[in-house]
Amino acid sequence: MNSYNEDLKLSELLDWFSTHDKKLYEKEFNEKFDELTELLTQIDRVDIREFVDNKLADKMELLIKFNNDFFQGLGSSEQIGLFYESGLHWPGVWARNMFKLVPPFVKQGVKIPENLKNLYKESRYCFIFEQFNAAVVLSRSIIELALKKKIGSQMESKFGTAGEVLKEALKKK
C-alpha cells in the first residue's frame, strides 16, 4: 500500500473510532482495532513522507508510539514474524555475506587497541548487513586511527581529518 492510501485508510479508521463507542460496537470495534494495528505495523517508518491531512500528521507520532508499545508487548516469535513480513530480513543474503569474510590474522603478541578492534568488528557487520556506505566510513575511521597511532599523532579525532593525518604521516615519512 502506498503512503497516500495508508493515510486515507488511517484517517478513515481514526474517524470511525472517534464516532463509535467500544461497548456498543464491540465486535466491529475489535475488527477495526485489528485493522488499525495491522496498518500501523506496515507503515513506512523510514522514508520522509507527506501526509494527506494535518489531522493525521498531528496524530502520527502518538499512533507510532502506541504501535511500538504494542509491538514490545508481543512475544519474540511474533516480533520475528513481523520482521520477516516487513521484507527487511534476508537471512540467506546475510549468511552468504558473512561467509565471504576471511578473518585477518596478525602475529601472535601483536597488541591491537580495543577501540580499533570494535570499529573493525562493526565495519564487518555493516558489510554483512549490506550497509556498504557505513562500512566504508568505518574503514576510513580505522585507517585514520591506526595511522595516528603509528605516527604518534597527538591530533584529536574531532579536529584532525583523515586528510590532515595523511599529510602529517607524509611529513614524518
pLDDT at residue 146, as a whole number: 85
* Same domain, residue pair 51 and 114: no
The residue among 23, 56, 85 that closes a domain is: 85
For residue 21, what are the domain limits? 3-85
Same domain, 38 and 57: yes
C-alpha cell of 141? 575511521
Based on the domain organization, do 31 and 63 belong to the same domain? yes
Structurally, the chain folds into a number of domains equal to 2
The reply to whether 96 and 43 lie within a common domain is no
Judgement on whether residues 101 and 166 belong to the same structural domain of the protein: yes
**pLDDT tens, position by position, 46-92:** 777 676 777 777 788 888 888 889 889 999 998 888 887 777 777 88
Give the model's pLDDT for residue 156. 59
Q: Mapping DSSP to helix (H, G, I), strand (E, B) and coil, where does residue 3 land?
A: helix
Cβ within 8 Å of residue 10, ≥6 positions away: 36, 39, 40, 56, 63
**What are the distances in angstroms from CA 141 to CA 13, 51, 101, 135, 165?**
48, 39, 20, 10, 11
- The predicted model scores a pTM of 0.58
